[in-house]
A and B are shown apart, each in its own frame.
Chain A
Amino acid sequence: MSVSLFAEQLLNGLQFGIMLFLMSAGLTLVFGVMGLINLAHGSFYMVGAFACAAMASALGSFWLGLAASLATAAIAGVLVETIIVRRLYHRDHLDQVLATFALILVFSEGTRWLFGSFPIFLNIPDILSGTIDLPFGIAYSKYRLFIIAVGILIAGGLYFLIAKTRLGVQIRAGEADREMISALGVNIARLNTIVFGLGAALAGFAGAMVGAIQSVEVGMGEPILILAFVVIVIGGIGSIKGAFLASILVGLGDTLGRLFLPGFFGFFLEPSSATSVGSALASMLIYLLMAVVLFFRPGGLFGKAA
């Protein structure tokens, strides 16, 4: 195991964690402020990726595609909130799960109707393709570094928004006591729409960024949605800080687990079964992590005490 391989894997884990954060930030805010379980959050991820791919192939610019992904996902989020989700806040979680699951099907079939069932093309812009030489002899993908940088900027921006602005005060107050802040004259309906739209926009942005190095296809949002739920449970529901820390933890844990576990089992198993046992355990690792965190802190790392 060389230093450069280990360092490269650390960067990979960081990059994966940052993407998870963009997904889970919106999810945890929506859950924290509105108490809504939104299974359709993965659909905004898909909408963002398709919007970016469509715009990039129509206009030939990845950057316009990124802007389109933000705008389209935000608009989709605002529409979904005002037309459907708004009616669910006072229902119990089972109703919310049912309704937002239905939304997944609507979005998936709608996208299939528009774009067909086959994956579509979206590539990284020329300026970010290829690798860049870092210290320790690491040749690292420029685009992945770009993802890390943008993700950290967004995390900083979110922190500023929540901690320093009037809107942030309202969001935090909304998490603490919805009835009270509406009694104090805050337009809670508008606040909900803004939070939901913001969460959707972040998910769409994540979808577009990741879409460029993965495949843009119907159903791409659901696997990442499951991970995002793991992240917000570990981080503590409603906590942006918790979501950030948990994202990095899950990203690093998953990546390093995939690297080390097969080798670890190689010490006492024959190579072929070591690889399969190790990989099987590596894919379970983040769920084990979640179980351990919940055992010691049932409310998550930064959650309210359960």
Chain B
Amino acid sequence: MFKSIKTILAAGVVIAATGAAHAEGVKVGMITTLSGGGSGLGIDVRDGFMLAVKQSGRDDIEVVIEDDQRKPDVAVQLADKMIQSDQVDILTGIIWSNLAMAVVPAAVNQGKIYLSPNAGPSQLAGQGCNPNYFNVAWQNDNLHEAAGGYATSAGYERSFILAPNYPAGQDALTGYKRYFKGELAGEVYTKLGQTDYAAEIAQIRASDADSVFFFLPGGMGIAFMKQFADSGIDLPVVGPAFSFDQGILQAVGDAALGVKNTSQWSKDIDNPANKAFVESFEAEYGRLPSLYASQGFDTANLMISAMEKADIGDLDAFRAALKEADFDSVRGDFAFASNNHPIQDIYVREVIKEGDVLTNKIVSVGLEDHSNAYVDQCGM
């Protein structure tokens, strides 16, 4: 009996000691996709995050980076390892919503802060919201809501919509339908990671659609755009920025020219923080930043702003400091709604050519100070 109490006490002392050992600094665990399909997204988030850490000049931030290979089981193992043996204070980095659903609920329930640089599944914005979970990118529906709004304002009446069959894909179509006032000419869920869209394109051709909306991030979008352009179907395409970001536009080629897409960030947003970010990112890595890079950059800057106000050892104070979102976001105004998801402008962009390089230009503001539809379902 005494022995076991002693052991517990000893264990308590050890835990307290390790807690004190990095009380002044923050240890961050980054789980992101660095290999295989979709690795471009994770690499951009990582590079954006590390650029902000470097620019802050702080030497008290330690970042442990691991590759989840876009596999939920690998992500869960990495999270366990980071929480138990690396003893990180903050987790971040996950790109894909199905991975986020596997990792985030367990991590925040163990008292870790999770800062999402990308995935924002509706489940974590509504009933599954948590004071330890902050999304620094968007709630999944957001960009698609703006796309639906744009399609309505452009006078489209019958959209054919498609997305992969996983949490973010379902959120995408829900978001589009929430703001699109016309009818649907068709609604298709594809397999995640699918690369051939001939069957879906044939269905679009056979339907009476007057516009196409698709959410196919990464390589899936490249494949779809190339095949759609080659099919000779002459319908306007609307989509979120994920299939038209800087990392993949060059691979899509001229097929993407003129396509309208929605984004909370663009490299031509006019504010000093963004100008400095685009310049320094290009100087550091030799390529233009994508929206994923901007999200990684903002995530790190949010964390650093909180570190300046509070100590990670005092979780309540640190959370309060995070919630103030007192940092210069590269997308301009940024605030957290009560469910810890962003309130921000969402822009409509058009794919253009600057010399030989395909890139995006803002054409209008799609939704101003846009929050999300799940605030009321969250009990915070």
Contact = CB atoms under 8 A, between A and B. Distances in A.
A214 B222 contact: yes
Interface of B: 34-37, 39-40, 43, 165, 170, 187-191, 193, 195-196, 198-200, 202-203, 205-206, 218-220, 222-223, 226-227, 230-232, 247-248, 250-253
State the majority secondary structure of interface residues on A.
helix
Given A5-B206, A119-B219, A217-B219, A108 B251 contact: no
Nearest to A251: B196
A276 B205 contact: no
Interface of A: 2, 4-5, 8-9, 12-13, 15-16, 108-109, 112, 117-121, 123-124, 129-131, 139, 141, 143-144, 210, 212-220, 222-223, 255, 258-259, 262, 271-272, 275-276, 279-280, 282-283
A142 B34 CA distance: 36
A146 B197 CA distance: 17
A215 B198 contact: no
Given A4-B206, A129-B230, A131-B232, A121 B187 contact: no
Contact of A215 (B165, B203, B223): B223
A272 B170 CA distance: 10
B194 to A, nearest CB: 8
B98 to A, nearest CB: 13
B230 A143 contact: yes
B202 A8 contact: yes
A38 B195 CA distance: 23
B37 A276 contact: no
Q: Which of B190, B218, B251 has the most CB of A within 10 A?
A: B251
Contacts of B196: 12, 16, 210, 213-214
B251 A12 contact: no
10 nearest interchain CB pairs?
Answer: A219-B36, A215-B222, A215-B219, A119-B251, A12-B198, A279-B189, A214-B223, A5-B206, A131-B232, A283-B191
B195 A9 contact: no
Contacts of B35: 108-109, 112, 218-219
Contacts of A222: 36
A50 to B, nearest CB: 12
B193 A223 contact: yes
B230 A220 contact: no
A215 B232 contact: no
B272 to A, nearest CB: 28
B102 to A, nearest CB: 18
State the majority secondary structure of interface residues on B.
helix
A46 B229 CA distance: 23
Q: Which of A2, A109, A210, A258 has the most CB of B within 10 A?
A: A258
B298 to A, nearest CB: 21
22 contacts: A2-B206, A5-B202, A5-B206, A8-B205, A112-B35, A119-B40, A121-B253, A123-B226, A130-B230, A141-B227, A141-B231, A141-B232, A213-B227, A214-B223, A215-B195, A215-B219, A215-B248, A217-B222, A218-B35, A220-B219, A262-B188, A279-B189
Contacts of A13: 199
B198 A15 contact: yes
Nearest to B37: A219
A4 B202 CA distance: 9
Given A8-B205, A219-B35, A279 B199 contact: no
A237 to B, nearest CB: 25
Contacts of B220: 215
B316 to A, nearest CB: 39
Nearest to B206: A5
A118 B40 contact: yes
Q: Which of A108, A143, A215 has the most CB of B within 10 A?
A: A215
A213 B223 contact: yes
Given A120-B251, A213-B230, A214-B219, 11 more contacts: A16-B198, A121-B251, A141-B198, A141-B232, A143-B230, A212-B226, A214-B226, A220-B219, A262-B188, A279-B190, A283-B165
A212 B34 CA distance: 24
A210 B191 CA distance: 18
Contacts of A262: 188-189
Contacts of A117: 34, 39-40, 43
A119 B226 contact: no
Contact of B39 (A120, A218, A276): A218
A258 to B, nearest CB: 5
Contacts of B165: 276, 279-280, 283
A12 B202 contact: yes
B133 to A, nearest CB: 26
A125 B6 CA distance: 76
Contacts of B193: 223
A218 B36 contact: yes
B67 to A, nearest CB: 11
Contact of A255 (B34, B199, B205, B226): B199
Nearest to A7: B202
B253 A217 contact: no
Contacts of B248: 118-119, 215
Contacts of A4: 206
Nearest to A223: B193
Contacts of A5: 202-203, 205-206
B40 A141 contact: no
Contacts of B222: 119, 214-215, 217
Nearest to A121: B251
B219 A275 contact: no
A203 B188 CA distance: 31
Contacts of B198: 12, 15-16, 141, 144, 255
A217 B247 CA distance: 12
Contacts of A255: 198-199
Contacts of A218: 35-37, 39
Contacts of A144: 198
B93 to A, nearest CB: 15
Contacts of B230: 124, 129-131, 141, 143, 213
Nearest to A8: B202
B251 A223 contact: no
Q: Which of A129, A131, A279 has the most CB of B within 10 A?
A: A279
